Chain A
Amino acid sequence: MRTRPSIDQARGEFVRGRPSDDQAIGAAAALRLEGVTKEYGRGGRGVRALDGITLGVARGSFTAVMGPSGSGKSTFLHCAAGLDRPTSGRVHIGDTSLDGMNETQLTELRRQRIGFVFQAFNLIPALSVRQNVELPLRLSGERLDRRWQDEILARVGLEGRAGHRPAELSGGQQQRVAIARALITRPDVIFGDEPTGALDTVTARQILSLLRSCVDETGQTVVMVTHDPVAASYADTVLFLADGRIAGQLDHPNADQVADRMTRLGAWA
């Protein structure tokens, strides 16, 4: 039986939305978006994928972002994680503004402050588990801390698999490697893009529990885009996106509540 960990209220509040809340977001936020819009295409035919998103994510929280297809989930993730530049508005990771950063600066920010876990194709096939995990450090030219690596591999349950190639691992194990890689740089935020989308239910639960324990045990901040109410129920807060805007928020969610809210948003209409 799955037990949902309780949420420590003292760890900081989740703050949503209005400009007047800006001060409240404060320095404690791991991620802040201010009036972020993103348009694709030009002129009258342009599509507004994000339409003035303002929010903050507190340190040490687990946030799920949900929404029907085309609601702007992926665009939100790309803009928040510095993979894409917003058309207007500002993004802050910790106390750093992404405004005006060039591609190289963005990359450096990503490898120091952000971790990624994608749905699939997370790993470089040519490299072993350990090499995949230490890749961000190698790319930034940092010294490798063997003990820290071992600790992280142990935490994700991959001790003894360090020498394996991704092709020799199961899907769940591959996601564990991806999580270990995301953790290695002690990032401000870990972004997940449907991290359990390609896994079976049991494996998906294990991965979600792993992410949950990262938040609870080390104070890691996780922002995860998903369309799965069960996955979302592992989060402290669920944000609902529709038509590029924040359409609602649910704290301490359970799967039924989330599914109910999604139905009302027309996702499964």
Chain B
Amino acid sequence: MFRYTLQTLRARKGGFIGAFLALFCAAMLVTACGILLETGLSGAIATERYAGTAVVVGGDQQVHETTTSEKKGKTKTKTKSKPLSERVWLPADTVDKLSGIQGAARVVPELTFTAYAVNAHGQPTSGIDGKPSYGHAWTSAVLTPFTLVQGSAPQGPDQVVVDRELAGSLGLHAGSALTVESGLGPQRFTVSGVAAPRGGDLTQQSSLFFSDDEAATLAGHPGQVSAVGIVAASGVSADTLAAEARQALAGTTAQVHTGGDLGPMEFLDASNARIKLVSMGGAIGGTSLLVAILVVVGTFALSIQQRYRELALLRAIAATPKQVRKLIGREALLVGGVAGVTGAVAGLPVAYWLHDRFVALKAIPDTLQVTFSVFPFFAAIGAALLGAWAAARISGRRTARIRPAEALAEAAVERRLGWGRLLAGLLVLAGGVVLLAVLSVLDTEPASSPVTFLTVVVLAVAVSLLGPVIARIAVTVLGAPLRLAGVGGYLAAANTRAGAKRVAAAITPLALLIAMACTVFFVATTMGDASQAQARAGNKADWVVAAATPGVPEQAVQALRQTPGVTAATEVLHSSVRVGVDKYTVEGLSAQGLTQTFDPGVTSGSLDGFGDGSVALSKVAASGLGKKPGDTLQLTLGDGTPVTLTVDAVYQRGLGFGDLTVSRDLLAKHVDDPLAGSVLVKGADRAALAAALRGFPGVAVLDRGQVDQLATTAEQSNAAVNYTAMGLIIAFTAIAAVNTLAMTVSERIREFALLRLVGTTRRQVMRMLRLESVLVVLVAAVLGTGIALAVLTAFSVGMTGSATPSIAPWRYLGVVGFAAALALLATIIPGRVALTNRPADVIGARQ
């Protein structure tokens, strides 16, 4: 039987190529996603700054929550840990605790703080590729280690040592004057020397070194250090040293890192990007698997329909229904196996490409390197086999119903739609409606996103099951105008009615393509437009003062406040906090004159008297946390500091302003970069503000339109990440659609030949085909748009509170036009090929 399977596959390549392609693409995507997932779970992050350090002690970058539950007299305790978004600082006495340990050559306190060199044009200079720039104390230069290549170590408060790369790009040397902008604003220094790391210039950061006292001042964390580095004495292993350090620090929350843990502790953003990769990998992988099964079931069913007579003959001469099912199952597994293996191999470059794109879009930092084991490959092969098996199982059900007597019949007639299929279709449709209802109450993005795409796929499954009924209804509606279009139209209408299943098979992937593309595009615009509208409505400022890196210093804000005509200047700072272990975005705003510049749409409570002990909540956050004005809220700030705040107000515009709002003065002490990202200014004119800001590097005055534009740019780069990821699935669906359409046309070679023989011209046949595909596109567009609209509306209700998804008409037309072009091409090209043979030969040839 195996040989028979192989031979059938070989002889009927065309029929299996569809299924193969679909499974190949699925395996490719699953591999790529699996690799991203694995990179997220265990991707290596190489340390740079601590390359010369055996052990680094840092703060506990996790927030923990222990819950105890009583069950049948047993007390169970569960501890959940989630990462914090800002650097957690250590008390300075950690250094003293460690100084006694044996095996340490040196115990070095480390300070890391934002510090940017300002170039000759008054612009702060980022590291390579826009990477951050940090200040440290010169004593900690040994941790890399940096050594002087020119000049001398910084002495006194006005000297600085810069790294060689920065010195080169700014043309600095010992003795140069240099303005450095730190959390305390711009300050003038003299370059006392240039230092270079032992292993070549750093690529992830620029480094500036100050004298110890000056560094402590600039860091702004008195009595604290950001880390402690321990340099091993010769002959002492890192592990021994780490064990000793742990012993010395027993009873504190300080964490001892060594080896591969140094990278994640140095690059907090990379550790956070891991989580993003995990969820993104899971979402794409899961969606593509679902799409694959749907598509493969379709192509398998189609290829079985095309082999109807052959299978009936097999049944007549000796094969039991089970044997036929087995045969189809084996063919499927064989196709699945080959597609799985080749797809898995092809997935590797896709994973690297995706990683590159995400890095280019700044969704993840390039410190997080691609890591993979054999698991993604096995998962992909397994997924392809599973998908093929499931498809064969589902479409194999039909073969049981093939009556052997049909082998003797003259032509294979399409059978009526089974009740089972209708019932299943209605059930899946009901499931889709339930998902829509669920979607309309989900108000957080991580919860909403996967459900959105799942709903699209489920509704597409319902379409595929109910397809023949839909096709018949469509022909009833569109039949009359179609018949007006001459004999081609007449034939097209008749074909569509008689071949409702075939038409349904073509409609499904096209509808899925349109629905998926519309959803991907317009979920982004819906969110973007809603949050921008809220931000615009809530921003009462006349001007916005903004700075790219590192931010607007406090002195600049003071200068603004003193400018005649300015009634309020509100600094805006962003971070995230955790309540329990749940993450919330937070905005820090200057309390002074807050209500003049900021109107988040307060629904209860008031922002009057908003201060350091206050917090305002968005409606979504308030209902999620069960808080109302007057309640107290315990939360953990980004650097792990617990605070208890009083809820002053609940506001509506959570999308525009974040989940929580606290005072800027409170937040600034607990974030890595305390400079305001932007300042909202009420009053005065542009020129006066610009004059006040002269002397502050990289700061600009924007009007409200420019602010909108900035927001749009930020959204676009965020959306681009989604487009890249979901674009792969859209491409996959497009391939499936082309595939299916081509299959439905090429199976009709005999029909075309017959039409030609009875006197239909080639032109008339092509016209008939074109009209048929127009009908398919129309129905698919209506269904796809319907699905997308339903999903987007539910999404919009949940996320923005109003049932008005934003749809860009041109982009929508683009999607439908793309689908239509695809459908026409996929029909016409195989149609032409099918018509190249002489009709008499085709009819004469035995099947």
Q: Which residues of A contact B (CB under 8 A)?
A: 74, 77-78, 83-84, 103-104, 107-108, 110-111, 116, 118-122, 124-127, 131, 135-136, 138-140, 166-167, 171, 174, 181, 193
Contact = CB atoms under 8 A, between A and B. Distances in A.
Contact of B10 (A77, A111, A126): A126
B416 to A, nearest CB: 14
Contacts of B309: 121
B405 A110 contact: no
B7 A116 contact: no
A110 B322 contact: no
Interface stretch (B52-60, B311-319, B563-571): B311-319
A121 B317 contact: no
Contacts of A108: 320
A48 to B, nearest CB: 18
B310 A125 contact: yes
A197 to B, nearest CB: 11
A107 B318 contact: yes
B317 A135 contact: yes
B82 interface: no
B616 interface: no
B6 to A, nearest CB: 9
B77 interface: no
B846 A110 contact: no
Contacts of B407: 118, 121
B611 interface: no
Given A74-B408, A131-B7, A120 B318 contact: no
A136 B845 CA distance: 25
A126 B11 contact: yes
Interface in B279-326: 309-310, 313-323
Contacts of B847: 121, 125
Given A83-B405, A121-B407, 5 more contacts: A74-B408, A107-B315, A116-B316, A139-B317, A167-B846
Most chain A CB atoms below 10 A, which of B7, B316, B318, B404: B318
A166 B316 contact: no
Contacts of A138: 1, 4
A41 to B, nearest CB: 14
Interface string B1-14: 10110011011100
Contacts of B323: 139
A107 B310 contact: no
Closest 8 pairs between A and B when the two form their complex, measured CB to CB: A111-B318, A126-B11, A136-B318, A83-B405, A107-B320, A139-B318, A104-B320, A126-B8
B312 to A, nearest CB: 9
Contact of A78 (B1, B320, B405): B405
A116 B317 contact: yes
Contacts of A84: 403, 405
Nearest to A137: B318
A138 B12 CA distance: 21
A24 to B, nearest CB: 31
B846 A166 contact: yes
B90 to A, nearest CB: 73
Contact of A131 (B4, B317, B320): B4
Given A74-B408, A83-B405, A84-B403, A103 B321 contact: yes
Central interface residue in B12, B315, B320, by most chain A CB within 10 Å: B320
Contacts of A104: 320-322
Nearest to A105: B320
Nearest to B404: A83
Contact of A110 (B11, B318, B321): B318
Nearest to B321: A103
Nearest to A118: B408
Contacts of B10: 126
B309 to A, nearest CB: 6
B460 to A, nearest CB: 33
Given A138-B1, A193-B408, A126 B318 contact: no
Contacts of B8: 124, 126
A131 B11 CA distance: 14
Interface string B374-418: 000000000000000000000000000001110110000000000
A140 B7 contact: no
A77 B405 CA distance: 10
B746 to A, nearest CB: 16
A130 to B, nearest CB: 12
Given A111-B318, A166-B846, A124 B313 contact: yes
A84 B323 CA distance: 19
B7 A126 contact: yes
Nearest to A139: B318
Contacts of B845: 167
Contacts of B846: 120-121, 125, 166-167, 171, 174
Interface string B834-847: 00000000000111
A120 B844 CA distance: 12
B224 to A, nearest CB: 77
A119 B712 CA distance: 71
A9 B846 CA distance: 41
Nearest to B10: A126
Contact of A103 (B1, B11, B320): B320
Given A104-B322, A131-B4, A167-B845, A124 B408 contact: no
A101 to B, nearest CB: 12
Interface in B776-831: none
A78 B10 CA distance: 33
A140 B318 CA distance: 8
Contacts of A111: 317-319
A82 to B, nearest CB: 9
A266 B659 CA distance: 90
B841 to A, nearest CB: 12
A119 B408 CA distance: 8
A104 B847 CA distance: 27
17 contacts: A83-B405, A103-B320, A103-B321, A107-B320, A108-B320, A118-B313, A124-B8, A127-B7, A131-B3, A131-B4, A131-B7, A135-B4, A136-B317, A139-B318, A167-B845, A171-B846, A193-B408
B322 A124 contact: no
B614 to A, nearest CB: 77
A111 B317 CA distance: 6
Contacts of B4: 126-127, 131, 135, 138
Interface in B313-368: 313-323
Contacts of B7: 126-127, 131
B317 A181 contact: yes
A193 B404 CA distance: 14
A103 B324 CA distance: 13
A135 B7 CA distance: 13
A166 B317 CA distance: 17
Contacts of A139: 1, 314, 317-320, 323
Nearest to A194: B408
Contacts of A125: 11, 310, 846-847
Most chain A CB within 10 A, of B323, B403, B408, B846, is at B408
A113 to B, nearest CB: 11
A127 B11 CA distance: 9
Contacts of A174: 846
Interface in B1-45: 1, 3-4, 7-8, 10-12
B405 to A, nearest CB: 4
A263 to B, nearest CB: 26
B186 to A, nearest CB: 80
A124 B129 CA distance: 64
Nearest to B409: A74
Contacts of A121: 309, 313, 407, 846-847
Contacts of B11: 125-126
Given A78-B405, A84-B405, A167-B846, A110 B317 contact: yes
A144 to B, nearest CB: 12
Nearest to B312: A121
Contacts of B12: 126
Contacts of B313: 118, 121-122, 124
Nearest to B318: A111
